[in-house]
């Protein structure tokens, strides 16, 4: 082994070790870093427009962009989260006090089920209101314990949350201001052909913009429309159901229908035919049409992935990374497909030894 080869391997080993160590120390704030990068990509075009209007004053243009980003993307999340916490607490108290009797709702639904299923529920001890109330009370007790644990954990991590928020804002400022230079430095360091690097960069930017801008716009629209019809029909905890529909709208093939559909069925079986018909028609032709009209406009074909892969990658991403996973999951899936596409293109252009041996 010559000296040059040894030096190269030593350098690669050092590079791997320091990279692993760097990622390790960044992990506690990966969410702040990720959203700073994502929002930086999303608001970069706005910063360029401000840069032209402000005659090249980068710091001022970046600060103006950061203010717009805070008003549009950050403050609504903070306000909605605070209102949602109050809404969930009120809903929990209503269920615990009996003001909202979940058991009676389920019993009405049970009465229209086939006799076989009703017999099966009877054997489970859910055939009468007393047995069902016991099951619901037990579930409420377990839910209260879980809720108390989460509140305590949230209180413990409040300082970390605040620190992460300001880290995100701090990083976002520099990602918006110096984003092009950072991208250029990363591209120069990646040992790939220029065309391959350009393709991966384009795929990364498209998926982030489609996931954050497009899917969030569709989800917020569907959640808002669902919340409005729930408020109009006098359904309690409107904000809670609206936010739930918004989150479910992020998942292809699931959507907000999993919330408004059962409510419409309950209205119909409870004799509230007008409310049930209105909610069903509104859900199909207003909330449901958002996917068919708004999603192609906002998201388009940027992800270039089938719906089943988006669904699986979104669910897997959220299972591993929490809420951040609705962007990270599809992003990893898209980069996976792009990387294998590059590899396949390389194999077609340059035959590997295995190909030449087999004669294919």
Identify the DSSP state of 304: -
Residue at token pair 């409107």:
238
3-state secondary structure of 243: helix
Distance (Å, rounded) from C-alpha 110 to C-alpha 94? 23
As a 3-state breakdown, the chain gives helix, strand, coil percent values, each rounded to 5, of 85, 0, 15
> What is the dihedral angle through the alpha carbons of 40, 46, 49, 55, rounded to the nearest 10 degrees?
-50
| pLDDT at position 92 over 50 | yes
pLDDT in tens, 110-163: 666 667 766 776 666 555 555 555 565 555 555 545 544 544 444 445 567 778
| pLDDT at position 49 over 80 | yes
Instruction: Report yes or no: 303 and 295 within 8 Å, Cβ to Cβ.
Output: no
Distance (Å, rounded) from C-alpha 171 to C-alpha 105? 49
| pLDDT at position 348 over 70 | no
3-state secondary structure of 143: helix
Return the top range by mean pLDDT from 96-100, 179-183, 213-217.
179-183
- Number of Cβ within a 10 Å radius of residue 256: 26
Residue ranges per structural domain of the chain: 29-184
pLDDT in tens, 208-218: 777 777 777 88
> What φ, ψ does residue 233 adopt, rounded to 5°?
-85, 0
What pLDDT does 109 receive?
64
252/182: higher pLDDT: 182
Residue at token pair 């080869």:
5
Instruction: Report yes or no: 133 and 106 within 8 Å, Cβ to Cβ.
Output: no
Q: How close are the terminal C-alpha atoms of the chain, in Å?
A: 36
Q: Which residues contact 325 (CB under 8 A, 6 or more apart)?
A: 314, 316, 317, 318, 319
Distance (Å, rounded) from C-alpha 37 to C-alpha 75? 18
Question: Which pLDDT band, with edges at 50, 70 and 90, does 359 fall under?
Answer: very low
What pLDDT does 229 receive?
92
What pLDDT does 278 receive?
92
Can you read off the two tokens belonging to residue 332?
């990893």
pLDDT in tens, 257-266: 888 888 888 7
CA triple 347-348-353, angle to 5 deg: 50
Question: Which pLDDT band, with edges at 50, 70 and 90, does 5 fall under?
Answer: confident
Gyration radius from the chain CA atoms: 26
pLDDT in tens, 192-211: 778 877 877 777 777 777 77
Q: Torsion-angle region of residue 305: left (phi > 0), alpha (psi -120 to 50) or beta?
A: beta
């Amino acid at each position: 082994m010559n000296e040059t080869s040894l030096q190269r391997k030593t350098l690669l080993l050092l590079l791997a070790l320091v990279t692993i160590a760097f990622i390790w120390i960044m992990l506690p704030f990966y969410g702040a870093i990720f959203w700073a990068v994502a929002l930086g990509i999303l608001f970069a075009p706005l910063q360029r427009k401000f840069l032209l209007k402000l005659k090249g004053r980068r710091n001022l243009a970046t600060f103006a962009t950061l203010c717009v980003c805070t008003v549009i993307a950050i403050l609504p999340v903070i306000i909605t989260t605070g209102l949602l916490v109050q809404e969930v607490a009120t809903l929990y108290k209503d269920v615990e006090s009996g003001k909202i009797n979940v058991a009676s709702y389920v019993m009405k639904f049970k009465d229209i089920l086939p006799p076989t299923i009703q017999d099966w529920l009877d054997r489970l001890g859910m055939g009468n209101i007393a047995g069902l109330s016991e099951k619901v009370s037990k579930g409420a007790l377990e839910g209260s314990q879980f809720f108390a644990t989460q509140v305590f954990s949230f209180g413990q991590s409040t300082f970390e949350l605040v620190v992460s928020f300001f880290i995100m804002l701090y990083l976002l400022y520099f990602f918006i201001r110096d984003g092009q230079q950072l991208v250029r430095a990363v591209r120069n360091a990646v040992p790939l052909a220029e065309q391959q690097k350009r393709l991966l960069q384009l795929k990364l930017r498209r998926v982030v913009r489609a996931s954050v801008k497009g899917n969030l716009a569709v989800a917020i629209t569907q959640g808002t429309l669902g919340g409005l019809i729930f408020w109009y029909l006098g359904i309690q905890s409107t904000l809670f159901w609206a936010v739930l529909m918004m989150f479910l709208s992020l998942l292809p093939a699931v959507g907000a229908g999993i919330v408004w559909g059962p409510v419409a069925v309950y209205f119909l079986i409870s004799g509230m035919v007008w409310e049930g018909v209105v909610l069903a028609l509104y859900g199909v032709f207003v909330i449901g049409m958002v996917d068919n009209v708004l999603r192609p406009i906002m998201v388009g074909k940027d992800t270039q992935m089938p719906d089943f892969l988006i669904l699986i990658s979104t669910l897997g991403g959220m299972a591993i990374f929490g809420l951040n996973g609705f962007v990270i999951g599809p992003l990893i899936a898209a980069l996976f497909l792009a990387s294998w596409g590059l590899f396949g293109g390389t194999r077609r252009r340059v035959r590997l030894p295995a190909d030449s041996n087999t004669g294919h």
